[in-house]
């Protein structure tokens, strides 16, 4: 698998692997019978109709997704996938590339924000090394496609076979590590990956680079201008800009992933596809996991009902992603950390929606009929 950064130095992009399309799991349709049964149960519960607002809609939707008319989301896991990006050499982040490794070790030692929130909401944390620079980090689930990608602003970030490998690795994680999960939250880490997420968003939605690019790790306005220019360079260098003449709808998602990166985004897209095939709902976090969700949806639109929103992220590309995926955020806390923090915060909301739907007494149970 040549073409990515095994030793921290850019390599020529070649693709000796003839495979160009990932093995894609079959995603079932929404279970209309379970959804209908849930919808019929709602008016029988001991509350005025509609009084739990959006929680009622979430419960019905989750019934259709899971195939269970009274779903239980007891077992939750947040998947934190990490990867490095050659584009960081262009000075787009307030932090050095070494921060990716340091944070991956921090996740494993339980010292990150996502660890604290996951513990608070009763979720397991799965840390995945999808391809960070340098040697593997002991303790992380290693599905390393390479040791970081090439600089997407000067050409393809990886070979297409690497993009296929990344998505398939995510599907395997869903099949093996997440088989017992009732709901999965997506999280990530990778210095420079907000630049990559903005580029993917622009490529798949026709959003202008300046509209999709934000301050990320807290860069100043001068660095933001450089970051926008890097996104523009990445689109142009890879034939994904408006001048290439092809609308976003015509961009093959695996080609976009290969040309732009990154490994962790491809893995998370595969996780979403694999979880959907098993009727496991997937909670999207911020702008990086939003890019993964966009890619998964472009690979197979059948995944869309299984993608659940969490927060309205502070990065501008996140609003573009949510709109493209028809996802309405649950809350807005001005979050921009990533890691899966916002997705974990959403878990109690989804669990509460299901718990009220599943555990409330009906009017018949208390000797009343039709709420009278």
The Cα 305–Cα 327 span in angstroms is: 10
CATH code linked to domain 73-351: 3.40.50.10210
d(CA 39, CA 37): 5
List 168, 188, 264, 339, catalytic entry: 339
Q: Convert the pLDDT of each residue in 106-162 to its tens digit.
A: 999 999 999 999 999 999 999 999 999 999 999 999 999 999 999 999 999 999 999
Annotation says 168 is catalytic: no
SS3 216: coil
DSSP string, 235-258: HHHTT-SGGG---GGGS-HHHHHH
What is the reported pTM? 0.92
Give 14's pLDDT tier (boundaries 50, 70, 90): very low
pLDDT in tens, 267-325: 999 999 999 999 999 999 999 999 999 999 999 999 999 999 999 999 999 999 999 99
Per-residue pLDDT at 8: 36
Q: Tell me: the pLDDT tens digits for 44-97?
A: 999 999 999 999 999 999 999 999 999 999 999 999 999 999 999 999 999 999
For position 4, what pLDDT does the model report?
Answer: 36
Full DSSP string of 28-74: PPP-HHHHHHHHHHGGGBSS-TTTTTHHHHHHHHHHHHHT-SS----
Q: Where are the domains of the chain?
A: 73-351
């Amino acid at each position: 698998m040549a073409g990515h950064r095994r030793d921290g130095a850019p390599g020529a992009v070649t693709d000796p692997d003839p495979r160009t399309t990932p093995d894609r799991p079959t995603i079932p349709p929404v279970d209309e019978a379970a959804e209908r049964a849930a919808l019929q149960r709602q008016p029988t519960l001991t509350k005025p109709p509609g009084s739990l607002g959006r929680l009622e809609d979430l419960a019905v939707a989750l019934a259709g997704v899971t195939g269970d008319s009274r779903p239980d989301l007891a077992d939750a896991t947040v998947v934190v996938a990490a990867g490095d990006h050659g584009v960081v050499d262009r000075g787009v982040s307030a932090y050095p590339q070494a921060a990716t490794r340091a944070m991956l070790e921090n996740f494993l030692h339980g010292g990150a924000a996502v660890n604290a929130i996951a513990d608070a909401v009763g979720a397991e944390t799965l840390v995945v090394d999808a391809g960070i620079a340098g040697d593997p980090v002991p303790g992380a689930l290693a599905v390393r496609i390479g040791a970081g990608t090439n600089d997407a602003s000067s050409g393809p970030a990886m070979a297409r076979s690497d993009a296929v490998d990344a998505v398939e690795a995510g599907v395997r994680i869903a099949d093996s590590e997440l088989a017992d999960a009732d709901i999965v939250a997506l999280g990530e880490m990778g210095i420079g990956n907000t630049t990559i997420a903005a580029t993917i968003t622009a490529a798949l939605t026709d959003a202008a680079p300046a509209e999709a690019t934000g301050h990320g790790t807290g860069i100043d306005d001068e660095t933001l201008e450089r970051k926008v220019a890097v996104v523009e360079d990445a689109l142009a260098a890879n034939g994904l800009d408006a001048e290439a003449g092809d609308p976003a709808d015509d961009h093959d998602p695996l080609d976009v992933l290969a040309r732009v990166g990154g490994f962790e985004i491809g893995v998370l897209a595969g996780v979403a596809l694999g979880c959907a095939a098993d009727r496991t709902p997937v909670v999207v976090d911020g702008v990086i996991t939003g890019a993964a969700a966009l890619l998964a949806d472009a690979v197979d639109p059948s995944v869309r009902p299984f993608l659940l929103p969490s927060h309205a992220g502070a990065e501008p590309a996140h609003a573009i992603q949510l709109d493209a995926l028809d996802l309405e955020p649950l809350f807005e806390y001005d979050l921009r950390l990533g890691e899966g923090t916002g997705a974990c915060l959403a878990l109690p909301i989804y669990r509460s929606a299901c718990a009220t739907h599943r555990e409330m007494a009906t009017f018949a149970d208390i000797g009343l009929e039709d709420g009278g």
